[in-house]
């Protein structure tokens, strides 16, 4: 009788151990990570977050911590809707590649073929002025900007935010980055501004994807919101994604804290997603839940389809997620902090792409890809491990810290 009890106990312990591992992911490690996040919430460093991990096509971990609205102390929910900011960019890239596959665009097409206001572009060059102060001079562009440049951020178009230069100061003077302006106002400003560098010579993060989105609108005669709904959100069952949150879902919108706990400064005013935007920003305007964005990433990991609905060909996904900088990677990297993909990563057509198994301080595999959003959303996909990680929060100052914390925990959980 005692033997049977020991066997039963052994089987129970074995079952518990097996339950802790799903699809080769140790859930105990991820539960410890969740506890770490809860401690960060208790310390006032993290307002709230939703975490999702999937492997081999199965969601193995999907949890919420903290507050949906820190001011109202509303508990975070797994179904929370987040402003994803620059995680909009891969969505716009997929739309562009769809039109390429349909023969409506070529990546080698000049931008001015579709947006003729960009025919006369100039490049800003900093020269030594009086008393050694730099001054901005304008030089002619040596070649046109192409759609390929827009997708891989080698157009010379920049942002007014992120670091500084005389060209960026010109952007800030006219508030070029603003989402609260019409498409026509945005295009008119951008067409008059100088480029940060000659097209095709460096990687520079900027308004390229916004410009690409408006180009797609002009080519198709539809808004970016309509295109994404018809071509990505509806086919993939991304039921809570879009460029505006309807009134019945307002109570699910995650909000940032009034003051950023990492910087101690007031949090920038978040995108108003409860009203229709003046323009649809292909670089920063979308919202999604963690589950919705996972469906998009799973489609990419599956080679372009999910549940029998295809959004891109297998080769189209390969094109999106392979490095397109080549030798430009090194001069871009030598610029230091402005090269956001970081050590060991090149850039595809909207995502950072790992070049080798080594050479990066981040855990991962050759060919993994990632990107993030201004207010703290983050994802990575590792095709070798059949692994997806999605981290959603609205805490701009902590975005690098929590993305690193999340990635380290997920890779530590692999068995």
For 125, half-sphere exposure in the C-beta direction (CA atoms, 13 angstrom radius) is: 9
The pLDDT value given to residue 8: 47
d(CA 171, CA 158): 8
d(CA 48, CA 257): 10
- SS3 at position 383: coil
Long-range contacts of 104-108 (CB under 8 A, 24+ apart): 104/219, 104/220, 105/147, 105/219, 106/147, 107/146, 107/147, 107/148, 107/151, 108/146, 108/147, 108/148
DSSP of 121-158 = -EEEEEEE-GGG-EEEEEEE-SS--BHHHHHHT-SS--
What domains can you pick out in the chain, each with its CATH number? 24-87+223-412 (3.40.710.10), 95-220 (3.40.710.10)
Query: Smallest Cα–Cα separation from 386: which of 23, 85, 87, 142?
Result: 23
- SS3 at position 63: strand
Phi and psi of 62, rounded to 5°? Answer: -150, 100
d(CA 218, CA 212): 10
d(CA 69, CA 97): 37
Q: Extract the tokens encoding 274.
A: 């409860």
Q: Cβ contacts of residue 294 below 8 Å, gap of 6+?
A: 52, 54, 59, 388, 390
Element (H, E) at 280: none
The pLDDT value given to residue 19: 65
d(CA 271, CA 250): 14
Do residues 313 and 321 lie in contact, with contact meaning Cβ atoms separated by under 8 Å? no
Q: Extract the tokens encoding 292.
A: 């919705």
Phi and psi of 32, rounded to 5°? Answer: -65, -35
Per-residue pLDDT of the chain (415 residues; tens, 9 = 90+): 454 554 444 444 344 444 699 999 999 999 999 999 999 999 999 999 999 999 999 999 999 999 999 999 999 999 999 999 999 999 999 999 999 999 999 999 999 999 999 999 999 999 988 877 899 999 999 999 999 999 999 999 999 998 999 999 999 999 999 999 999 999 999 999 999 999 999 999 999 999 999 999 999 999 999 999 999 999 999 999 999 999 999 999 999 999 999 999 999 999 999 999 999 999 999 999 999 999 999 999 999 999 999 999 999 999 999 999 999 999 999 999 999 999 999 999 999 999 999 899 999 999 999 999 999 999 999 999 999 999 999 999 999 999 999 999 999 999 9
d(CA 313, CA 98): 9
């Amino acid at each position: 009788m005692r033997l049977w009890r020991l066997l039963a106990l052994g089987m129970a312990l074995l079952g518990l151990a097996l339950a802790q591992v799903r699809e080769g992911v140790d859930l105990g490690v991820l539960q410890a990570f969740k506890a770490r996040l809860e401690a960060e919430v208790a310390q006032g460093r993290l307002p709230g977050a939703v975490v999702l991990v999937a492997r081999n096509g199965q969601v193995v971990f999907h949890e919420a911590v903290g507050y949906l609205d820190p001011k109202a102390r509303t508990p975070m929910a797994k179904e929370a809707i987040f402003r994803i900011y620059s995680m909009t960019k891969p969505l716009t890239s997929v739309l562009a590649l769809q039109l390429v596959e349909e023969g409506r665009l070529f990546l080698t097409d000049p931008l001015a073929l579709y947006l003729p206001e960009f025919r006369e572009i100039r490049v800003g060059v900093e020269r030594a002025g009086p008393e050694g102060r730099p001054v901005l001079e304008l030089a002619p562009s040596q070649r046109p900007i192409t759609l390929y440049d827009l997708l891989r951020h080698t157009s010379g178009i920049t942002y007014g935010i992120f670091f500084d230069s005389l060209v960026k100061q010109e952007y800030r003077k006219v508030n070029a980055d603003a989402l609260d302006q019409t498409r026509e106002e945005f295009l008119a400003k951008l067409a008059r501004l100088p480029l940060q560098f000659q097209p095709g010579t460096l990687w520079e993060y900027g308004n390229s994807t916004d410009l690409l989105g408006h180009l797609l609108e002009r080519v198709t005669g539809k808004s970016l919101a309509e295109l994404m709904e018809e071509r990505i959100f509806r086919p993939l069952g991304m039921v809570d994604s879009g460029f505006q949150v309807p009134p019945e879902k307002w109570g699910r919108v995650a909000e940032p804290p009034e003051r950023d706990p990492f910087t101690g400064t007031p949090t920038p005013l978040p995108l108003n997603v409860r009203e229709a935007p003046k323009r649809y920003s292909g670089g920063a305007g979308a919202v999604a839940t963690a589950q919705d964005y996972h469906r998009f990433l799973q489609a990419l990991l599956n080679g372009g389809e999910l549940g029998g609905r295809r959004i891109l060909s297998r080769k189209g996904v390969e094109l999106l997620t392979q490095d397109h900088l080549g030798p430009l990677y090194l001069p871009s990297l030598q610029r230091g902090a402005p090269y956001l993909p970081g050590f060991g990563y090149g850039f595809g057509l909207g995502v950072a792409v790992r070049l080798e198994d080594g050479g990066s301080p981040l855990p991962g595999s050759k060919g993994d890809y990632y990107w993030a959003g201004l207010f703290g959303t983050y994802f990575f996909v590792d095709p070798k491990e059949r692994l997806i990680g999605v981290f959603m929060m609205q805490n701009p100052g902590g975005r690098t810290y929590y993305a690193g914390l999340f990635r380290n925990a997920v890779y530590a959980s692999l068995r």
